[in-house]
Structure 1
Amino acid sequence: MDPKRMLKEHVAKIAALTDAEFDNFFARFELQSFKKGQTIISAGDRVNHEYFVLSGCLKTFYINDDIKMYILQFAMPTWWASDYNALYSGAKAAVSVDCVTDAEVLRLSNANREEICSQVHQVEHFFRWRTNKGYVASQKRLLSMMNNDVKHRYEELMAQYPELYNIVPKQLIAAYLGVSRETLSRLYNS
């Protein structure tokens, strides 16, 4: 699908922009293509952009001192990814973002987002809605991690995002669930 049309349909679900307002908004994005395994953000980087996924799959992850990977998010088409703490605070990235598959994204700088939000109320409304939705999803995931066993979390993930099973390697799904690859194998083979 055409990147402009894809973003326009995504935004239109939340905010009503005139054609001129949307053209002004879209002009602030940069189209980028990445290969499978390519890094977009590395821990320790300064982060000035967020990424709207057009195609492919990204992962946002953290690697602790014991070299254990924890996946915070998979980002599929029409999802957004970045290290938002670093983007908004100016701190260095604590998490990394890379490509699970080949991916095409629209990149938006923090400065461009802030400028268009100050000019067009509906764009600000869109980003506020999106941020709130992301916060709610994070809260639900955290509560699920605290209250549900791994089998329930796995079933919940597969019910909500069945396409992940065919796109994302099982060791990454395991890292998202906070378990070993072997534990996950026992779940989907039982």
Structure 2
Amino acid sequence: MSQLLRQQIEKITPLTDGEFDYILSHFTPKKYKKHQFLIQEGEDVPNDFFVLDGCLKAYHVSQDGKEHILQFALPDWWICDFNAYFNQTKATLNIDCIEDTEVLCLSLYNREKLCSEMHKIEHFFRRKSNSGYIALQQRILSMLNNNPQERYEKLLQLYPALFQKVPKKLIASYLGVSRETLSRFSS
């Protein structure tokens, strides 16, 4: 399973076996059950998570009790409450498992250590961060400029695997529409 991490890193920068073994030694594997939390609002966020298997969601619950999904994560994706992780503050997001999940956990200390020791890893994380910023910007612009059906079609085009793993109720929450509205698009 750790080969998934190596493949992702090597899309950006090549690694020797020794380099990858050293990088991997800074991660901790962990398994979670369906509905189990990796992060809960108000808690510390000691780790960033690389998904090896399973499916997760990151969300915020508003004061009126409505769940607002910010992100899903499938194998080969990263997920975290990045504000809390990088600023070492309490979580403002919840992250839990949509299905049984296996992740590699990377503490901020180990991330910083790897980045200071290995230019390749610093370069990798910079490129991954840039890609994340771009994706977030595109999502915000889509929410501002596209109607719900256009957002649905774009999500389906970009991430068809989500529709195999994620219940429609959660897809609707992510798109900011009702379950009934989503049903009209997908029928």
- TM-score of the superposition, structure 1-length normalised? 0.96
Residue of structure 1 equivalent to 2:95: 97
Aligned runs of 1:43-62 on 2, under 5 Å?
43-62=41-60
Aligned residue pair count? 187
Determine which of 173, 179, 182 is the counterpart of 2:180: 182
User: What do the CA deviations read for 1:153-181 (whole angstroms, capped 9, x no partner)?
Assistant: 00000111112112100110001001111
The answer to whether the 8 A contact 2:41-2:94 is kept is yes
Cα distance in 2, alignment partners of residues 72 and 151 from structure 1: 18
Aligned runs of 1:1-190 on 2, under 5 Å?
3-189=1-187
Q: Percent identity?
A: 49
User: What do the CA deviations read for 1:106-162 (whole angstroms, capped 9, x no partner)?
Assistant: 111110000010000000000000000001000000000000000000000011111
User: What do the CA deviations read for 1:75-107 (whole angstroms, capped 9, x no partner)?
Assistant: 011000010000001121111111011111111
Cα distance in 2, alignment partners of residues 164 and 90 from structure 1: 30
Give the root-mean-square deviation of aligned CA atoms: 0.9
Deviation at 1:17, TM superposition (A): 2.4
Cα distance in 1, alignment partners of residues 157 and 129 from structure 2: 23
Cα distance in 2, alignment partners of residues 166 and 16 from structure 1: 32
Deviation at 1:20, TM superposition (A): 1.9
Residue 117 of structure 1 aligns with an amino acid whose one-letter code is C
Cα distance in 2, alignment partners of residues 136 and 54 from structure 1: 23
Name stretches of at least 5 consecutive residues in structure 1 with no aligned partner: none
Name stretches of at least 5 consecutive residues in structure 2 with no aligned partner: none
Cα distance in 1, alignment partners of residues 164 and 14 from structure 2: 35
The answer to whether the 8 A contact 2:40-2:95 is kept is yes
- TM-score of the superposition, structure 2-length normalised? 0.97
User: What is the SS of the residue equivalent to 1:138?
Assistant: helix
The answer to whether the 8 A contact 2:32-2:97 is kept is yes
Residue 134 of structure 1 aligns with an amino acid whose one-letter code is G
Residue 32 of structure 2 aligns with an amino acid whose one-letter code is F
The answer to whether the 8 A contact 2:2-2:52 is kept is no
Residue 106 of structure 1 aligns with an amino acid whose one-letter code is L
| Runs of 4+ more than 4 Å apart | none
The answer to whether the 8 A contact 2:44-2:89 is kept is yes
Cα distance in 1, alignment partners of residues 99 and 135 from structure 2: 23
Cα distance in 2, alignment partners of residues 13 and 186 from structure 1: 38
